Amino acid sequence: MKFNTKTIHGGQEHDKAYGAVMPPIYQTTTYAQSTPGGHKGFEYSRTHNPTRSALERAFASLENGDHGLAFGSGLAAIDAVMKLLKPGDEVISTNDLYGGSYRLFTKVYENFGIKFHFIGMENAANIADYVNENTKLIWVETPTNPMMNVIDIKVAANIAKKHDLLLAVDNTFATPYLQRPLDLGADIVMHSATKYLGGHSDVVMGALVVRDQDLADRLYFIQNASGAICGPQDSFLMLRGIKTLHVRMQRHCENGKKVAEYLQNHPKIEKVYWPGFESHPNHKIAKEQMDDFGGMISFVTKGNNYEEAIRIVENLKVFTLAESLGGVESLCGHPASMTHASIPKEEREKTGVVDSLIRLSVGIEDADDLIDDLKQAIG
């Protein structure tokens, strides 16, 4: 089945009771048993729920995996991966990553004796320098939030295989429409499904997809034991969102290209971060491992002026100033004071998250309106 068909049919079957085309919302906590243990595969909705199971099959299908798991948020999904570890274990992570992931690693899991090495992975071969006998996991986000760095998943996967480590890839920015990390050798793919997968800014959710049965069993155990699941209504909304992922992503990519090129040629803009530019340091890798370049763009204005950045985000009218990304509507954000405020200033500036950086999530409106909006806001 091709990707554009999978978004609509992947892992789905028509409802057995009445033939409903959409999976029913099983708004129930529990399931009748004829005798203790005599049930139809569902006992209690933290463990399994038919609507969530339909969604988990859809997640697995999109990422060419065998097992999908849905969580109450992207961070809950990352949290489940971290619970595979024990005190003394070490993780090698991208240094430029979503601020909330950094906060979870440093403020929660460091307290439980897990050590993190945050490193630049633009040259993914660097990862090997940090492997030791305690290393268990490589955490890659690509493209990264918000600097749009691209990390070579195949190189990271070869290092993981050589040293018997797990490789997890946060595929939130690319989505499986553009990039399928399991095909490139990753063990775990993770999503903030809140973003492009849901696509309508109405559901907070996380996803994991794996191929290995033993790894899936360990993650399902953690999902049930820790309980950070999502409910049936949200599972339904996510399934509905996923059905248009391919058409939305196609437009996000088209609009992203037009907006990136407009900004690139603007006399007041110093630098535009978008993997589709040939001048992007890892454009070649992006071309190899992604099918297109997406609608996420970051930029800084000339003079690197904080007040100027704030003025621009306040003046934008079609772009809404808001946290989050990946919805049909265009959003803008100021990472230093919003999504990445949890990263200390000197840490975030090392990776390029300066006070004047603006991040755009280019939506699927008419590109002319988006460009006009930027024109009037930047001046």
Asked if residue 172 binds ligand PLP (CB under 6 A), the reply is: yes
Asked if residue 206 binds ligand PLP (CB under 6 A), the reply is: yes
Asked if residue 301 binds ligand PLP (CB under 6 A), the reply is: no
Residue 108 makes CB contacts below 8 A (sequence gap 6+) with 79
**46 has catalytic annotation:** yes
Helix axes 213-226, 74-82, angle to 10 degrees: 110
Residue 73: strand, helix, or coil = coil
Stretch of residues binding ligand PLP (CB under 6 A), selected from 72-80, 127-135, 179-187, 294-302 = 72-80
Among the listed residues 6, 26, 83, 98, the single catalytic one is: 98
**251 has catalytic annotation:** no
Q: How would DSSP label each residue in 239-302? A: HHHHTTHHHHHHHHHHHHHHHHHHHHT-TTEEEEE-TTSTTSTTHHHHHHH-SS--SEEEEEET
Asked if residue 201 binds ligand PLP (CB under 6 A), the reply is: no
| Structure token pair of residue 229 | 């699941």
CB of 375 to ligand PLP, least distance (A): 27
**180 has catalytic annotation:** no
Residue 19 makes CB contacts below 8 A (sequence gap 6+) with none
Q: Which residue has the tokens 């949290």?
A: 79
Asked if residue 75 binds ligand PLP (CB under 6 A), the reply is: yes
Residue nearest to ligand PLP (CB): 74
Residues 118-147 that bind ligand PLP (CB under 6 A): 141, 145
CB of 323 to ligand PLP, least distance (A): 7
CB of 41 to ligand PLP, least distance (A): 28
Among the listed residues 170, 187, 355, 373, the single catalytic one is: 170
**284 has catalytic annotation:** no
Residues in the interface with ligand PLP (CB under 6 A) total 15
Q: Taking Cα atoms as reference points, which of 169, 171, 207, 170 lies closest to residue 186? A: 169
CB of 137 to ligand PLP, least distance (A): 16
Angle at 7 between CA 226 and CA 94, to 5 degrees: 55
CB of 78 to ligand PLP, least distance (A): 7
| Structure token pair of residue 198 | 């849901």
For ligand PLP, the binding residues (CB under 6 A) are 73-75, 98, 100-101, 141, 145, 170, 172-173, 192, 194, 204, 206
So which residues are the catalytic ones?
Answer: 46, 98, 170, 195
